[in-house]
Every structure is written in structure tokens, then in C-alpha cells.
Chain A
Amino acid sequence: MKPAAFDYARPRSLSEALELLARPNVDARVIAGGQSLVAMMNLRVASPGLLVDIARLPDLGSATEEDSTVFYGACVTHAMIEDRIGPDPSNGLMPKVAETLAYRAVRNRGTIGGSLALADPAAEWPCVLAALDATAIIEGWNGKKAVACRDFVTGIYETRLAAGEILTAIWVPKLSPEARWGYVKLARKSGEFALSLVVAVRDPARGYARVVLGATDGPPLILEATSRLCGRGRAEPAAAREAVAADLARAADRQFDAFRHSLHATAALRALTQATEAAA
């Protein structure tokens, strides 16, 4: 289908973009790569009045490195991450994730910030960034604020972004060289949205471990017991199963049928194993 009519603006600066978003009585939406938004508009599940195109704003399109952090502009594409254009804070986790995300033609345009800001419950980046303890940078008229990615997504397509604000950047702390990760995406076809998605990160040098479950019809779910177990290293299979089962049972707001429960448990156990295997 074709989208309903809308206005389009491509501001030259962030302040111009914020000004456009602040216009009264206009249902304005930010567009970056448009790989989800335009599809939603074509299906007429979204019909904004004004699109504010930030894809080519200066400073949003590259990743830069500081001592302990990599700073991603919101419009860094999945393909740039896949191709390791720029620094990688994640010992290969982020390039691996990017490679499994949709299709190359989509990855060439879709952006990390767009994916996080849309907060599709089955999307990869909200989980991965929560697992890496990343921070989202939000800019609006009243300045800049930082929100931990683990708290950024609040529901299905719901985030801490308020009207008129733009997610401009994501800070990802660097893993230590010996840190390990696990990533399991279960989908029936390569590139599809996940039926289950688990990211496990273990960085003993920083005393950090976190296991996050996605594709649960809600925000990314931090598996607390599994995370603690992950931090202790290789677990007995029975203890691992018990921790995962306890975490899934505690997620009382999610409705897992037997099939999804089984997928989530399997994905979590596999990701935990990957993250706690001895280095090759």
C-alpha cells in the first residue's frame, strides 16, 4: 500500500529539527533510516503529519571512541556496525548482532538509534544495549539527558522519549579484552524478527554480568538470577535451568505459552553457555 499524505522536512541542524518537532498541532515524527517507520506508514498503521528526517544530520552518522566508551551517533547504520566501520566496544557482539538483523538492503539504511527509539519488542538493539549497560542520550528543548538503556524501553513501542525529543546518541562502555558474550536469536527464517532473543555479557575484570531476554511482548527483561549465575562463570546445567526457570516465572507481566516459554528457556541456556565457556 501507499502511505497517507504527510509533510516532509530535512533540517540542517539538530536545533532546527527540535524546532520542527515543537510545532503545535502537528503530529511530527522523527525519521532516520525509515526501515520500520515507512513500512508502518505503507501499511497505514502509522500516519504522521510531518516527518523530520535526521538521517544526514552532522555528528549523528559516525561512531567515535573515548577511553572507556564508544559513542554511537543515533544514525549509525546496522551495516556500518556489521562491517566494523569504526570502533567496536563489544568484542564482536555488536557486529554479530548486526549481521543477524533483517536483510542487507535494510541494514544499509536502518539505524541503531531508530531501532532503539522505535522499541519493537522483538528488536535486537534494545536487548543488546541493555545487556552492554549502554546509555541513551536524549536531546530536547530543555537540554540533554542520559537514560540507561536498561530503563529506556518502558513497553511495547514505548520509551522514555517525550514528545519533541530526539534520541541523538548511544554510549556503549567498552568490554575488557577477556570479556565473553553469548547471543542467541531464534527465528524461523534468517533476518526475521526473533521469536526469542537472549544476550548474555560476562566481564569479570569489571565485575559485570547481565543476561537480557527479548521478544517477550514487553521491554527487554533482565534475567536477574541467570545474570548472577553468569557472573560466577560456568554453571552446572541443573543450576542454570533452575535460574532461568525462576527468572521466567518471576516475569509475571508477560504471558508465555508453553512454546514461547520453551524457546526463551532454550535461548537463555544457550546464551549463558556461550558467555561462560572458557576462551578458545
Chain B
Amino acid sequence: MTAIRFRLNDADFAEDVAPRLSLADLLRERHNLTATHLGCEHGVCGACTVLVDGMPARACLMLAAACDDRQIHSLEGLRDDPVIAALRDSFHRRHAVQCGFCTPGMLISARDLIQRGRAGSEAEIRAGLAGNLCRCTGYTNIVSAIAEAAQTVAAQGKAA
């Protein structure tokens, strides 16, 4: 077992983990944070994308043991995040959720695209979403919802 201390959704934890435990299983099995979905478990589908030290990462490719001293946010911890709020609203109104399996990873990646200023055009958003698979193939609505949220966030930035 490996002893780790980490910050998860803005609360501190200290736990012993088996080296083979992934961050995704740490979140899902120990903390009941089931927004983090596991699709492929080898880094291709993007459904398990979470934030590690503020940057998107595949929770299936991250060992829990390597999360010592790191700050983790799963989608549950971003409830009050303004960019996630804009995305939640636009995903809802534009019907960007079909079965919902890819949605948590889509939201985390979309938030990162907007924050890095990489959601300026449809082509840019599509390229930025290459690492998040939607097998309902609802990309059209997802892309337009992200474009709308990017505009909303930009307008909020100007108003502020």
C-alpha cells in the first residue's frame, strides 16, 4: 500500500491505496463520485477526464498512488464553477446530452477549451474534442452548446 495525501473537490484526504488503483476507481469506488465514467480504460474515450492540479487528465491513466500532494477535481466539485454553469445551461437547452455517458468528460474538456481560448470556432471545438468520444454521435449539438457557452462566458467577462 502507498500512503497518499490529496485534495479532492476542495477537501483534504489521507488514504492508503494499492499501487494498481487508478484515480478513476479511487473516485468512484471509495468516494462514490460516479460522474467520472469509465469507458475504455486505456485513454481513448475521454469519459473519465477529471482535473489534476487544474488541468484535464485521464483518471483511468493516472495511478491514485501518483496523486500524492495533488489537487483533484471531479465534475461533482465543479458544481459552482461559472464556466461549468454556462455549459450546463447550454447543454440542457441545445440537447447536447443523449445517453449522457460521455457528458462529464465532455464538460471537463469543454471547460478547458473555453478557459484556454480554444473554443472560438466550430473547427477549433471539434479538434479540441477529438479526445472525447460520443457514441450517440451527438457531436453537432455538443459543439454548438460549447460555442454558445464560450460566448456566454466571454460576455460575462466583459460585463464583469
Question: Is residue A246 contacting chain B, with contact meaning CB distance below 8 A?
Answer: no
Interface stretch of the complex, out of A103-111, A219-227, A266-274: A103-111
Kindly supply a per-residue 1/0 record for chain A positions 14-35, scoring 1 wherever the CB is within 8 Å of any chain B CB and 0 otherwise: 0000000000000000010011
Residues of A within 8 A of B25 (CB): 2
For residue A79, which residue of chain B has the nearest CB?
B55
B56 touches A104 (CB 8 A): yes
Which chain A residues lie closer than 8 Å to B119 at the CB level? none
**Contact (A105, B42) CB under 8 Å given A53-B66, A189-B130, A191-B131:** no
- Taking residues whose C-beta sits less than 8 angstroms from the other chain, chain B's interface range is 20 to 34
Shortest CB–CB separation between residue B144 and chain A, in angstroms? Answer: 19
Q: Please encode chain B, from 45 to 67, with 1 for each CB lying within 8 Å of some chain A CB and 0 for all others.
A: 01001001001111011110110
Interface residues of B in 107-160 (CB under 8 A from A): 109, 112-113, 127-128, 130-132
| Contact yes or no, B131 A8, CB < 8 A | no
In the complex, which residues 99-117 of chain A have their Cβ closer than 8 Å to any Cβ of chain B? 102-106, 108-109
- Stretch touching chain A among B14-22, B79-87, B96-104: B14-22
Given contacts A6-B20, A38-B63, A55-B66, whether A105 and B127 have CB atoms under 8 Å apart is no
* Distance between Cα atoms of A31 and B55 in the complex (Å): 19
Contact of B57 with A109 in the complex, beta carbons under 8 Å: yes
| Contact partners of A67 in chain B: CB under 8 A | none
Q: Which residues from chain A sit less than 8 Å from chain B, CB to CB?
A: 1-8, 10, 31, 34-35, 38-39, 42-43, 51, 53, 55, 79, 102-106, 108-109, 189-191
8 further A-B contacts with Cβ under 8 Å, apart from A35-B61, A39-B61, A104-B109, are A5-B18, A8-B65, A34-B62, A53-B66, A102-B43, A106-B131, A109-B58, A191-B130
